[in-house]
Amino acid sequence: MQVPLQITMREFDRSEALEADIRKHAAKLEQFHPRITSCRVAVEEAHKHHQQGREFNVRIDLRVPGDEIVVTRDHHEDAFVAVRDAFDSARRQLEEVAREQRGDTKTHEVPKHGTVARVFAEEGYGFIETADGRDLYFSRDNLVNQSFERLEPGTAVQFIEEMAAEGMQAKRVSVGKHKVV
């Protein structure tokens, strides 16, 4: 970390054991993102209630280049458990930020719409006419929610377009509710 870890404890006596635990958790975070610039941790005892025991709130502020992560864990009766839970959440968020910054996040393609142009039921394949007038091949194996034998020209479908060895093909083909005429 570029800025030393900052630990604040409010409304209760400072605990060396809790501080050591926080330092251990903070050090582990560097495994998940190599460029943490700062980490501030605040542990606070919540206002005492007559019928409830002690409750602790934990707030973690992490900064990495281009992002800030803030985690808050409220009202846990054990300060060590509250700290652990807060750091677990911070770790998950830090992993997600690191994945996004590396460009590793999974993107979901938006399904395209078209109509069945031709079906060769005995051979197990057909063609979909796309909205822009192209024909895309699809096979029985790519049909998701319909019996292949029940397909006929004009059936509305949605699909994902993917590159295959022979060129672009329709994958994950699902039948729409309306027949296009």
pLDDT digits (tens, 9 = 90+) for 45-84: 987 655 566 889 999 999 999 899 999 877 778 899 999 9
**For the whole prediction, is pTM greater than 0.75?**
no
| pLDDT single digits (tens) 13-22 | 899 999 999 9
User: Are 160 and 168 in contact, with CB atoms under 8 Å apart?
Assistant: no
* Fold for the domain defined by 6-102: Double Stranded RNA Binding Domain (3.30.160)
Q: Strand pairing of 38-45 and 6-10?
A: parallel
> Which of 2.40.50.140, 3.40.50.150, 3.90.1010.10, 3.30.499.10 is the CATH number of 112-179?
2.40.50.140
- For residues 106 and 14, the model is more confident at 14
Burial 14-34 (b: 16+ CB within 10 A, else e): eeeebeebbeebbeebeebbe
Average per-residue pLDDT for the chain: 86
